[in-house]
Amino acid sequence: MNKFSIAAAAALLGASPVFADGHASGDAAAGEAAFNQCQTCHVVVDAEGNTLAGRNARTGPNLFAISGAQAGIVEGFRYSDSIVEAGEAGLVWDEANFVAYVQDPTAFLREYLDDNRARGKMAYKVRDEADAVNLYAYLASLAPATN
């Protein structure tokens, strides 16, 4: 490899986000715009009670600190039996699971649980995979920093 190729490869690697431990790879700013479609049902409220995103919707669970969290555990929210079962079986909201779930919640749960009767309560489907990835990035950006 010549010096130019090595420099170009290094620049590309340095410019592209490489995340581990469930961090987001999408565009948080684009995810913030895409969150408009979610705020009818969801809100993001931190532990101190500050609304970080959304309005005062309560149809869906609070999405604060969802990245890396076990599915179906937000206190005070009545989940479907299937999402609770999936969480108990180890479902954690990493980027891949979140993106697949929001694109088709019931299909995701049926596959995850290997149960054709599984159902989620979320009827809305995010149609564009890029929007789903960006939504995850946005929600991850609102979570408290971890060391």
Q: What is the pLDDT of residues 59-108, one digit of tens each?
A: 899 999 999 999 999 988 999 999 999 999 999 999 999 999 999 999 99
Q: What pLDDT is stored for residue 144 in this prediction?
A: 84
Is the distance from CB of 125 to CB of 109 less than 8 angstroms?
Answer: no
Give the CATH number for residue 105: 1.10.760.10
Instruction: Tell whether 21 is covered by a domain.
Output: no
Mean residue pLDDT of the chain comes to 84
Residue with tokens 């979140």: 98
Band (146; pLDDT cuts 50, 70, 90)? low
Q: What pLDDT is stored for residue 25 in this prediction?
A: 85
Q: Percentage of residues in the chain with pLDDT exceeding 90? A: 71
Instruction: Tell whether 40 is covered by a domain.
Output: yes
Band (24; pLDDT cuts 50, 70, 90)? confident
pLDDT of residue 44 exceeding 60: yes
- What is the residue-wise DSSP string for 71-105? TT--TT----HHHHHHHHTT-B--HHHHHHHHH-H
Q: What pLDDT is stored for residue 67 in this prediction?
A: 93
Domain hosting residue 136, numbered range: 26-142
Domain count, the chain: 1
